[in-house]
Amino acid sequence: GENVEQHPSTLSVQEGDSAVIKCTYSDSASNYFPWYKQELGKRPQLIIDIRSNVGEKKDQRIAVTLNKTAKHFSLHITETQPEDSAVYFCAASRNYGQNFVFGPGTRLSVLP
Amino acid sequence: EPEVTQTPSHQVTQMGQEVILRCVPISNHLYFYWYRQILGQKVEFLVSFYNNEISEKSEIFDDQFSVERPDGSNFTLKIRSTKLEDSAMYFCASRPEETQYFGPGTRLLVL
């Protein structure tokens, strides 16, 4: 089955700096890759997603890149703000949205 | 904006007891999911449900677990005989297309 790895497990950046979180997946049939942000005690919230037929997607300060050959995808957050502090989970899915296999998460801390 | 809702928000139960966790998916969504998240760990898939039947389930979803859509709005997860290791946050999710929308979760504590 699918296995998703995520690095780093924790990340601290200064406010205004960029943050990059990387995920790798094992199943070449996976075709949908969402990123979720989870604040303490709250539900995971989708922040951006990408389909396998797209190499890059951007939404304001957030971007995701996908390398299908290498089976990895990355989340990029620019101009980080303290409210970006949370745990970020990547996930991979076959059949465009069927059950997600999540990575172990990255705890991002943005220091003022 | 419509959201997935879950009840109760917290549940404490004794080992061996049955629990039912309830979810109300977003009304026009057709696919439903249960996930669990043990404290400090990643979110793990339990089961997916479509067209009134289970479409996929994980190894975690053993005979102690069952799901039901008893009416047009509710989606339930039943754990027949809870174990200590069932203590976790349980999330329901639903989707119309690719994006899954998560509920706020039910924190289950088994004593």
Q: DSSP assignment, residue B63?
A: T
CA distance A110 to A16: 9
Give the mean model confidence (pLDDT) for residues B84-96.
95
| Strands in A8-71 per DSSP E | 10-14, 19-25, 32-38, 45-51, 56-59, 62-67
pLDDT of residue A97: 65
B71-B67-A48-A17 Cα dihedral, nearest 10 degrees: 130
- pLDDT tens-digit series, residues B7-57: 999 999 999 999 999 999 998 898 999 999 999 888 999 999 998 899 999
pLDDT-derived band of residue A53, with 50, 70 and 90 as boundaries?
Answer: confident
Give the mean model confidence (pLDDT) for residues A47-63.
93
Locate the chain B residue with the closest alpha carbon to A39.
B104
User: How far apart, in Å, do the first and last CA atoms of chain B sit?
Assistant: 37
Structure tokens at B108: 């289950």
Given a contact cutoff of 8 angstroms between Cβ atoms, the answer to whether B93 and A93 are in contact is no
- pLDDT tens-digit series, residues B100-110: 999 999 999 99
Locate the chain B residue with the closest alpha carbon to A4.
B42
Of A89, A96, A98, the CB nearest to B56: A98
CA distance B12 to A91: 30
pLDDT of residue B82: 97
Interface test with B, best of A43, A53, A88, A100 (most B CBs within 10 A): A43
Q: Which residues of A touch B48 (CB under 8 A)?
A: 98-99
Query: Which residues, other chains included, contact B24 with Cβ-Cβ below 8 Å and sequence gap of 6+?
Result: B4, B5, B6, B73, B74, B75
pLDDT of residue A96: 67
